[in-house]
Amino acid sequence: MKSIVLLSLLGVTSMFAGVFNYRKLILPIILIGIAAAIGLFVDQWGMNKSFYQMAFFDNYAIAFSCLLLSVSFLIFTLALYHYRKEGDIVTDLYALFIFALTGGLLMTSFSNLVMLFLGIEILSIPLYVLAGSRRADLASNEAALKYFLMGAFATGFLLFGIALVYGASGTFDLAGIAAYVKAGKDIPDFFYVGIVLLIVALLFKVSAAPFHFWAPDVYQGSPVLVTTFMSTVVKIAAFAAFLRLFNYCFTPLASYYEIILTAAAVATLLIGNVTALYQQSVKRMLAYSGISHAGYLLIALVVMGASATSVVFFYSAAYAAASLVAFAVLTAVMENKEGRESFETFKGLAKNNPILALCMSVAMLSLAGIPPLAGFFGKYFLFATAIKDGYLWLVLVAIFNSLISLYYYLRVIINMYSSADDEVPAFTPNYALVLMLLLSLGANLALGFYPDLLMGLLG
């Protein structure tokens, strides 16, 4: 809980940076603050502290919180590079990022449906603003309004679901609901409707088909740093919440909702991968790639159980490590090519900036799941767990989709290693970008060579 308080204070500090003129200092302060928050969480490991039955800091919550914080740490390092020339408004954006992050932390540690709702809203409302933070850019505006309208609409379903679940069980407390489900006496029909509505709202948040439509548009229109945040922190937080809620409360009713999740997983995989094939913009392709990875993670949700938590955790970490590199390189390339983001923009990168091209290649191969990178082990553990629980056909579908995904990931690499008249010019990345790439790449390789580093963490 201390770290959540610390983060809220950090957000406020960031808001006042513009007023009291310490803008130059704010990023270092934020980075230190996030590191301190990670430290505070790690300190709580294994203590299972509860906060007034509202939040419960078990190892699951701490592990996912630390993952979110670490990813945010890297995103702020990227901000150090991306916003190095920007002026006033940036500190406000940082504050919004931090508030959103705080919401994400609540989503991993809630032990009450009220906190789930608050977490999701604290995460989403700053993001609506962030998506539209390039005020003069019509694409950014459009992304913000689309995200807002659809997000608010989905909130309605979430609340209706919560209300129905409460109506049947008489409590918002996860433990209470779990006990109610376990007792299983006279569960009214509207309780099941409540579960379906909760699934719908959470599927929307993780951008799973058929509720994924907002994602590509919003990802493409938002400023690239916000897109990075959405496709990593937001997605992981949503999955953490999804898994926590269902794993904790509703597993006895799995046979009821399993088919919905399975159908969503298959549809998400197929739509994400197949649509990504036909994209022109790398940013939009990454959005679809994010959707397809949500599909893989949904398989873990279908399988559920204790093994699923560590699989989801490892998979998200691997996915985040690779995505961060991809978005960082994309940021650098867009900056040197007047903000263009098509596949052709990457031509000549390998010739003029071989290191960046290498990083990007590693990231793409990891996302595609090529050994010995982290992405491979993520998929490997996922498929192994699913096969063990008898979901072979689902794994076959997923493997087929992995094959499709090779096409668009390799397309980036091919473009980087071919030449054109209009190539990415040679430029020297600043220290922040280098640091960020090093850390993410290091994480990727470390997870590839020592998968046990995170696999054993959640039992």
Partner 1 sequence: MKEVIQGIPLNYYLFLSTVLFSIGVLGVLFRRNAIIILMSVELMLNSINLLLVAFSAFHGDAKAQVFVFFIMIVAAAEVAVGLALMVLIYRNIKTLDIDFLNKLKW
Partner 2 sequence: MKDIAWLLPALPLLGFIINGLGRKALPKMVAGVIGSAAVLGSFIIGLMLFMHVHETQHGEVLNYYRWLSVGSLVIDLGLYIDQLSAWMILIITGIGFLIHVYSMGYMSHDAGHNKFFAYLNLFVFFMLVLVMGSNYPMMFIGWEGVGLCSYLLIGFWNTNTNYNNAAKKAFVMNRIGDLGFLLGMFMIYYYFGSLDYQVVFAKVAGVEINSPIIVGIALLLFVGAMGKSAQLPLYTWLPDAMAGPTPVSALIHAATMVTAGIYMIVRSNIIYTFAPSAQTVVMVVGLATSIFAAIIGLKQNDIKKVLAYSTVSQLGLMFMALGVGAYSSAMFHVTTHAFFKALLFLGSGSVIHAMGNEQDIRKMGGLWKKLPITAWTFLLGTLAICGIPPLSGFFSKDEILLNAFTANPVIWGLAVVSSLITTIYMFRLLFVTFFGKFRGTYDQEHHLHESPASMTIPLVVLCILSVFGGLLNVPEIFGGNAWAHHWFGEMLFKPALGGIEHAVSHSMELVLMGVMLVLIAIAFVVLRNKYITKGAVPEADEEMTGFTKLVGNKFMVDEIYDFFIVKPIYLFSSALYYVCELKFIDLIVNAIGDGIVGLGRLFRRLQTGNIGFYIFTMVLSIVAILVFKYFVV
Footprint (CB under 8 A) of partner 2, residues 270-329: 271, 274-279
Contact call for residue 381 and partner 2 (CB under 8 A): no
Tell me the sheet residues that pair with 173: 112
Closest contact distance (angstroms) between CB of 447 and partner 1 is 34
Q: Which two tokens stand for residue 336?
A: 């040197």
Determine contact, residues 407/332, Cβ cutoff 8 Å: no
Q: Compute how many other C-beta atoms are within 10 angstroms of the C-beta atom of residue 193.
A: 15
Contact call for residue 210 and partner 2 (CB under 8 A): yes
Contact call for residue 159 and partner 1 (CB under 8 A): yes
Q: Which of 56, 64, 128, 246 binds partner 1 (CB under 8 A)?
A: 128
Task: State the binding string over 315-354 for partner 1 (x if CB under 8 A, else -).
Answer: ----------------------------------------
155 binds, among partner 1, partner 2, none (CB under 5 to 8 A by kind): partner 1
Contact call for residue 153 and partner 1 (CB under 8 A): yes
Stretch that binds partner 1, among 23-31, 162-170, 423-431, 447-455 (CB under 8 A): 162-170
Q: Compute how many other C-beta atoms are within 10 angstroms of the C-beta atom of residue 22.
A: 14
Nearest to 235 by CA among 141, 336, 315: 315
Determine contact, residues 314/297, Cβ cutoff 8 Å: no
Q: Which of 172, 242, 319, 346 binds partner 1 (CB under 8 A)?
A: 172
Nearest to 360 by CA among 289, 423, 429, 413: 413
With 0-12 CB in 10 A as exposed, 13-18 as middle and 19+ as buried, what is 459? exposed
Q: Which of 42, 152, 355, 426 binds partner 1 (CB under 8 A)?
A: 152
Considering the complex, state which of residue 151 and residue 429 has its C-beta at the smaller distance from partner 1.
Answer: 151
Q: Residue 370: helix, strand or coil by DSSP?
A: coil
DSSP symbols for 319-369: HHHHHHHHHHHHHHHHHHTTT--BGGGGTTHHHH-HHHHHHHHHHHHHHHT
Contact call for residue 92 and partner 1 (CB under 8 A): no
Contact call for residue 16 and partner 2 (CB under 8 A): no
Determine contact, residues 117/156, Cβ cutoff 8 Å: no
Please give the Cα distance from 421 to 418 (Å, whole number).
11
Stretch that binds partner 2, among 1-9, 28-36, 116-124, 209-217 (CB under 8 A): 209-217
Tell me the sheet residues that pair with 281: 342
Alpha carbons within 13 A on the beta-carbon side of 321: 27
Element spanning 57, H or E = strand 55-57
Considering the complex, state which of residue 98 and residue 265 has its C-beta at the smaller distance from partner 2.
Answer: 265
Footprint (CB under 8 A) of partner 2, residues 395-424: 404
Contact call for residue 49 and partner 2 (CB under 8 A): no
Contact call for residue 139 and partner 1 (CB under 8 A): yes
Please give the Cα distance from 375 to 365 (Å, whole number).
8
Please give the Cα distance from 29 to 91 (Å, whole number).
12
118 binds, among partner 1, partner 2, none (CB under 5 to 8 A by kind): partner 1
Considering the complex, state which of residue 156 and residue 425 has its C-beta at the smaller distance from partner 2.
Answer: 156
Contact call for residue 157 and partner 2 (CB under 8 A): yes
Give percent helix, percent strand, percent coil of the chain, each to the nearest 5.
Answer: 80, 0, 20
Q: Compute how many other C-beta atoms are within 10 angstroms of the C-beta atom of residue 396.
A: 12
Q: Which two tokens stand for residue 439?
A: 């850390």
Q: Which of 9, 25, 149, 399 binds partner 2 (CB under 8 A)?
A: 149
Tell me the sheet residues that pair with 264: none
Q: Which of 36, 146, 175, 260 binds partner 1 (CB under 8 A)?
A: 146
Determine contact, residues 142/89, Cβ cutoff 8 Å: no
Q: Which of 22, 45, 190, 380 binds partner 1 (CB under 8 A)?
A: 190
Nearest to 341 by CA among 213, 218, 212, 223: 223
Q: Which of 8, 59, 171, 336 binds partner 1 (CB under 8 A)?
A: 171
Considering the complex, state which of residue 57 and residue 246 has its C-beta at the smaller distance from partner 2.
Answer: 246
Closest contact distance (angstroms) between CB of 171 and partner 1 is 8
389 binds, among partner 2, partner 1, none (CB under 5 to 8 A by kind): none
Closest contact distance (angstroms) between CB of 214 and partner 2 is 6
Q: Summarize as ranges the residues that interact with partner 2 (CB under 8 A).
A: 145-146, 149-150, 153-154, 157, 192-193, 196-197, 200, 204, 210-211, 213-214, 216-217, 256, 259-260, 271, 274-279, 404
Q: Summarize as ranges the residues that interact with partner 1 (CB under 8 A).
A: 114, 117-118, 121, 125, 128-129, 132, 135-136, 138-139, 141-146, 148-149, 152-153, 155-156, 159-160, 163-164, 166-167, 170-172, 190, 216-217, 220-221, 278
